[in-house]
Homo-oligomer: A and B are copies of this chain.
Amino acid sequence: MNTAKGARARARTEITAAIKDAARRQLAAEGAAKLSLRAVARELGMVSSALYRYFPSRDDLLTALIIDAYDSLGEAAEAAKAAGAAEAAHGAVAGAEPLERWTAVCEAVRGWALAHPHEYALIYGSPVPGYTAPETTVPSAARVGLLLIGITRDAHEREALTAPPLPADLCEEAERMRADLAPDLPPEVVAALVAAWAQLFGLVGFEVFGQFHRVVEDRAPFFRHAAVRLAHGVGLRS
């Protein structure tokens, strides 16, 4: 009984994974807008109606791919943060640690995006027409942001961070963001952090989507320096 149940569940997860793999291939070839259950089924030698046992609609398959992509990126970023922490523990100045973790996370985001451009486009590119992501994607989508908040919080605990003062018309919103995201950080730092988060993906997106073509050639050092300067803007010092 257990074995039967286990085998059934195993088969189900295997087929689910195969479906998502085929869908990711279609994503790369045709784009998210043209993702069709039929094409996925054809590639797997199944019939389209069989897919509905695993994903009730095309949008649900899309949602699963989006969550997987956010999680894959989040895992890469979290692994880089942990590795950066370990690296910093080995040597050097203790105060440099948060900045090293920050840049490690940024470079992990870039590396993941360059390795998975189509999944990057799925989550940070143009919205898919006719599709709106459900709330279930939010926890996965938040992972990189939470990571950056955590690094900033660690740095703030060691040594109080500062950022330039806010204009009057931004104070209320900054307080609101602070209450939502990081009550233990100063509002200017929270505002700077959210901006840095968006700007990080601006740098990554420009590289992945080809806007740096014939503008920036040696991109790794360019990106690293920009990531360090993003950290400085949040108050992290070297």
Contact with B along A197-238 (1 / 0, CB 8 A): 011111101100111101111100110111001101100000
Q: Would you call A173 an interface residue if the criterion is a C-beta within 8 Å of the partner chain's C-beta atoms?
A: yes
Contact of A215 among B32, B126, B177, B202 (CB under 8 A): B177
The complex places the Cα of A214 from the Cα of B177 at a distance, in Å, of: 9
Q: Would you call A191 an interface residue if the criterion is a C-beta within 8 Å of the partner chain's C-beta atoms?
A: yes
Scoring A121, A124, A232 by chain B CB atoms within 10 A of each residue's CB, the highest score goes to A124
Is A225 a contact partner of B170 (Cβ separation < 8 A)? Answer: yes
Question: Given A191-B222, A233-B233, 7 more contacts at CB 8 Å?
Answer: A125-B209, A169-B221, A170-B218, A170-B224, A170-B225, A199-B199, A202-B206
Is A31 a contact partner of B129 (Cβ separation < 8 A)? Answer: yes
The complex places the Cα of A223 from the Cα of B138 at a distance, in Å, of: 23
Is B215 a contact partner of A194 (Cβ separation < 8 A)? Answer: yes
Nearest Cβ in chain B — how far from A29, in angstroms? 7
Contact with B along A167-211 (1 / 0, CB 8 A): 101101100110011000000000110110011111101100111
User: Given that A126-B121, A199-B202, A203-B199 are known contacts, is A229 also in contact with B233, CB under 8 Å in the complex?
Assistant: yes
A166 surroundings in chain B (CB, below 8 A): 225
Contact with B along A107-123 (1 / 0, CB 8 A): 00000000000000110
